[in-house]
C-alpha cells in the first residue's frame, strides 16, 4: 500500500492505506481522530464534516487520493489550545 502525507490540524501525518479509503475512516481508524463521526454514510447528515482548505465538506464522501496535498481541519483542530468542546 502507498504511504500518504496529510496536513491535518496543522501537522504533517503519514498513513499507509489504499487510495480509495474514505477520509472518514483514515481519520478515525488510522489517526485516532474520533471527533469526526460516522452518521449516514451518504454525505447528507453532516456528522463527518471537516474543513478541506477552509471549506466544509463531508469526509465520508472523499477518498484519501482526493485530499492529498490539501489542508484538513477536524473538530480537534478548531481551537489552538485544544479546548474546543
Segments of the chain assigned E as strands: 3-8, 11-16, 49-52, 55-58, 71-73
Question: For residues 20 and 62, what is the distance between their CA atoms, to the nearest angstrom?
Answer: 9
Residue 29 has pLDDT above 70, yes or no: yes
Question: For residues 79 and 14, what is the distance between their CA atoms, to the nearest angstrom?
Answer: 22
Q: Is the dihedral of CA 20, 66, 56, 52 positive or negative?
A: positive
CATH code for the domain of 28 = 3.10.20.30
Question: For residues 85 and 76, what is the distance between their CA atoms, to the nearest angstrom?
Answer: 9
User: pLDDT band at 36, cuts 50/70/90?
Assistant: very high
Range of the domain at 46: 3-76
Per residue in 48-84, pLDDT tens? 999 999 999 999 999 999 998 999 999 999 887 767 6
pLDDT (0 to 100) of residue 2: 87
Specify if 16 maps to a domain. yes
- The count of structural domains within the chain is 1
Amino acid at each position: 500500500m502507498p504511504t500518504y502525507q496529510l496536513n491535518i490540524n496543522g501537522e504533517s501525518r503519514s498513513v499507509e492505506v489504499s487510495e480509495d479509503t474514505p477520509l472518514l475512516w483514515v481519520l478515525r481508524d488510522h489517526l485516532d481522530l474520533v471527533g469526526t463521526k460516522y452518521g449516514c454514510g451518504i454525505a447528507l447528515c453532516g456528522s463527518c464534516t471537516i474543513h478541506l482548505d477552509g471549506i466544509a465538506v463531508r469526509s465520508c464522501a472523499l477518498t484519501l487520493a482526493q485530499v492529498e496535498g490539501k489542508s484538513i481541519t477536524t473538530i480537534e483542530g478548531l481551537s489552538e489550545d485544544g479546548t474546543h468542546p
